[in-house]
Structure 1
Amino acid sequence: MQKLLYLLLMAVLPMGCQNKKQNSPERPNVILIYLDDLGIGDLSCYGSKQLQTPNIDQLAQEGLMFTNAYASSATCTPSRYALMTGMYPWKKKAHVINGDAPMLIATDAPTLPKTFKKAGYRTAVVGKWHLGLGNGNIDWNQTISPNPNDLGFDYSYIMAATNDRVPTVYVKNGKVDNLDPKDPIAVNYKENFEGEPTALTHPEMLRLKWSHGHNQSIVNGVPRIGFVKGGKSAHWVDENMTNDFLAEAQHFIQKSNQSQQPFFLYYAMHQPHVPRLPHPKFKGKSGLGARGDVILEADDAIGRLMSFLKEQKIADNTLIIFSSDNGPVLSDGYADHAIADNGTHRPWGKYRGGKYSLFNAGTNVPFIVWAPKMVKKGTSDALICQMDLINTFNECLHLAVDQHLDAQPLTNTLFGLNEKGRSHLMLEANARLWLRKGDWAYIPPQKGVAINPDIMIPLGRSVDEQLYNLQADTQEQVNLADTEQQQLIQLKKVFKEELQGEEPMFLYMTQ
Structure 2
Amino acid sequence: MKAQHISLTALSLLPILPISAKETNTDKPNIVMFLIDDLGWNDFSCYGSKFYQTPTIDSLANTGVMFTDAYAACTVSSPTRAALMTGKYPARLHLTDWISGWNYEWAKLKIPEWKKYLSLEEKTVAEYLKEAGYTTWHVGKWHLGDDEKYWPENQGFDINIGGNYKGAPIKNKQGCGGYFSPYCLPRLENGPEGEYLTDRLTNEAVQLIEQQGEEPFFLNMAHYAVHAPLGAKPEILKKYEVLTDSSYFQNNATYAAMIQSVDESLNNIINALQRKGVLNNTLIIVTSDNGAVHRTSKNYPLRKGKGSEYEGGVRVPLIINWKGHTLVGKSTEKLAITPDLFSTILDAANVNVHDKNVDGISLLPIIQGKTTEERPIFWHYPHYHDGGARPYSAVRLGTWKLIKQYDNDSYELYNLKADISETKNLNKKYPQKVKELKMILTQWLHSVKAQFPTPNPHWDPKKEKKKGKYNGI
Scaled by the length of structure 1, what TM-score is found?
0.71
The change in CA–CA distance for 1:28 and 1:113 in structure 2 (over 3 A counts) is: same
Instruction: Select the residue among 438, 443, 446 that pairs with 2:403.
Output: 443
Q: 1:438: Cα distance to partner? A: 1.1
Q: Matched residues in 2 for 1:292 and 1:502: separation? A: 38
Q: Matched residues in 1 for 2:375 and 2:91: separation? A: 20
Q: 1:499: Cα distance to partner? A: 0.9
Q: Counterpart in 2 of 1:219?
A: 176
One-letter identity of the residue aligned with 2:344: T
Q: Counterpart in 2 of 1:327?
A: 291
Structure 1 segments unaligned to the other structure (5+ residues) = 1-7, 10-21, 135-143, 169-197, 199-204, 206-216, 223-227, 332-337, 448-461
The change in CA–CA distance for 1:244 and 1:421 in structure 2 (over 3 A counts) is: farther
The change in CA–CA distance for 1:221 and 1:255 in structure 2 (over 3 A counts) is: closer
Q: Counterpart in 2 of 1:13?
A: none
- Alignment partner of 1:444: what SS? strand
Q: 1:435: Cα distance to partner? A: 1.1
Q: Counterpart in 1 of 2:118?
A: 105
Contact 1:467 1:488 in 2 (8 A): yes
Matched, 1:127 2:140: yes
Q: Matched residues in 2 for 1:230 and 1:293: separation? A: 26
Q: Counterpart in 2 of 1:363?
A: 314
One-letter identity of the residue aligned with 1:381: E
Q: Matched residues in 1 for 2:116 and 2:451: separation? A: 23
Contact 1:37 1:325 in 2 (8 A): yes
The change in CA–CA distance for 1:112 and 1:486 in structure 2 (over 3 A counts) is: same
Q: Matched residues in 1 for 2:357 and 2:392: separation? A: 21
One-letter identity of the residue aligned with 2:198: T
The change in CA–CA distance for 1:97 and 1:310 in structure 2 (over 3 A counts) is: same
Q: 1:231: Cα distance to partner? A: 12
Query: Aligned pair count?
Result: 402
Matched, 1:37 2:1: no
Identity over aligned pairs, percent: 28
Q: Counterpart in 2 of 1:61?
A: 62
Contact 1:435 1:491 in 2 (8 A): yes
Q: Deviation per CA, 1:371-397, whole angstroms, max 9, x where unpaired?
A: 221111211111111212223344443
Matched, 1:485 2:420: no
Q: 1:330: Cα distance to partner? A: 4.4
Contact 1:78 1:89 in 2 (8 A): yes
Q: Matched residues in 1 for 2:185 and 2:80: separation? A: 30
The farther-off stretch of 282-291 and 476-485 is: 282-291
The farther-off stretch of 487-496 and 44-53 is: 44-53
1:276-315 matches, cutoff 5 A: 276-286=230-240, 287=244, 288-315=252-279
Q: Matched residues in 1 for 2:264 and 2:420: separation? A: 31
- Alignment partner of 2:162: what SS? strand
Q: Matched residues in 1 for 2:188 and 2:120: separation? A: 31
Contact 2:99 2:116 in 1 (8 A): no
The change in CA–CA distance for 1:412 and 1:308 in structure 2 (over 3 A counts) is: closer
Contact 2:144 2:150 in 1 (8 A): no
Instruction: Select the residue among 213, 216, 219 that pairs with 1:262.
Output: 216
The farther-off stretch of 24-33 and 67-76 is: 24-33
Higher relative contact order at CA 8 Å, sep ≥6: structure 1 or structure 2? 2
- Alignment partner of 1:299: what SS? helix
Q: Deviation per CA, 1:206-233, whole angstroms, max 9, x where unpaired?
A: xxxxxxxxxxx663389xxxxx999998
Q: 1:24: Cα distance to partner? A: 1.5
Matched, 1:466 2:470: no
Q: Counterpart in 1 of 2:158?
A: 154
Structure 2 segments unaligned to the other structure (5+ residues) = 1-17, 102-113, 245-251, 384-390, 465-473
Q: 1:400: Cα distance to partner? A: 2.8
RMSD (CA atoms) = 3.4
Q: Matched residues in 2 for 1:265 and 1:81: separation? A: 16
Q: 1:358: Cα distance to partner? A: 0.5
The change in CA–CA distance for 1:231 and 1:155 in structure 2 (over 3 A counts) is: closer
Q: Matched residues in 2 for 1:156 and 1:23: separation? A: 29
Q: Matched residues in 2 for 1:229 and 1:128: separation? A: 10
Scaled by the length of structure 2, what TM-score is found?
0.77
Q: Counterpart in 1 of 2:205?
A: 249
- Alignment partner of 2:325: what SS? coil
